[in-house]
Chains A and B, each alone.
Chain A
Amino acid sequence: MMGEKAFMGDYVQIHRVILNPGERAPQVPDDTKKVPLEMFVKGFLVDTEAVLGQEVTIRTVIDRKITGKLVAINPQFTHDFARPQPELLTVGQEVRKKIKRGDLNG
């Protein structure tokens, strides 16, 4: 949400480019060389207030001060374990039947 505002002490995430595409390590794959090496760090906002997209300073949990572009305010973890794979569910049933019977071919 552009225009969202963070205040001093809020837990936020900042973004910085560490290496531009032309500066990447020589051994990385070609498609990786085409994109920058980016860093995201979380910490508490040092500035009085800031909107998303602004250059800010944060204080991290181990007290380092880092500057970067404000990209999120206490972002949510959104990963999950998705759906069970139906194929694997039936494979399990088949194997279990064979184990109980003690015969793979039956």
Chain B
Amino acid sequence: MDKGYNAVMARKNEIMKKSIGIDYDLFERGNYAFDYEKMMLETGYELDEIARIQRETGVGNTPLIELKNITKLARMLAPKGKGARIFVKDEACNPSGSFKARRAAVSVYYAKKMGYAGVITATSGNYGAAVASQAAMRNVNCIVVQEVFDSKWQGQPEILEKGRASCLLEAD
């Protein structure tokens, strides 16, 4: 089988159909439009169910913290009577240290439910660590394909750190 770039891209729809059972052709409208709403109706989850799935692996319910100094600074800069209170939703409190755990939680849950051999993701960092973390908690095999270094073996520390996290979480 030809594993060259163009050959693989030409088989993309067939690969998606075979691996996750979604036929994207059904939602295509003409040459340019894609019926996202219809796809969500057929494959989506209700919000309550998403919240339940996320709770199972400690995802979400992150703290909402008021940044009092930043609010004060904003009010010093804003015209009189303006300047809202500023809060931060601390998504770093998710299991893998970013909000990407939210999406990964549902994907890995679904993969486990469907009895898939494992999960695989391409990432530049945070999503890979999130999938590896969710897969570890649900005992699902995981492969993370991450662009870590360039050809001169240079990489950004925060990106390298996410790659290291995936390795330590027993993902390939």
User: Which residues from chain A sit less than 8 Å from chain B, CB to CB?
Assistant: 19, 23-26, 35-36, 38, 40-43, 60-62, 64, 77, 79-82, 95-96, 98-99, 102-104
Chain A residues, CB < 8 A from B171: 61-62
Q: Are B5 and A82 in contact (CB under 8 A)?
A: no
Chain B residues, CB < 8 A from A80: 157
Report the Cα distance A60→B171, complex, angstroms. 9
How near does chain A come to B25, taking the closest CB pair, in angstroms? 23
* B 64-97 to A, binary, CB cutoff 8 A, 1 in contact else 0: 0000010011001100000000000000000000
Identify which of B36-44, B54-62, B101-109, B159-167 touches chain A: B159-167
Q: Who on chain A is nearest to B5 by CB?
A: A25
Q: Are B4 and A23 in contact (CB under 8 A)?
A: yes
Q: Who on chain B is nearest to A39 by CB?
A: B145
Report the Cα distance A63→B113, complex, angstroms. 22
Q: How many residues on B have C-beta within 8 angstroms of the other chain's C-beta atoms?
A: 23
How near does chain A come to B79, taking the closest CB pair, in angstroms? 13
Q: Are A62 and B118 in contact (CB under 8 A)?
A: yes
Q: Are B143 and A62 in contact (CB under 8 A)?
A: yes
Of B4, B69, B151, B155, which one neighbours A38 at CB under 8 angstroms? Answer: B151
Chain B residues, CB < 8 A from A38: 151
Chain B residues, CB < 8 A from A43: 172
Q: Who on chain B is nearest to A61 by CB?
A: B170
Q: Who on chain A is nearest to B68 by CB?
A: A99
* B 2-23 to A, binary, CB cutoff 8 A, 1 in contact else 0: 0011000000000000000000
Q: Are B172 and A99 in contact (CB under 8 A)?
A: no
Chain B residues, CB < 8 A from A26: 5
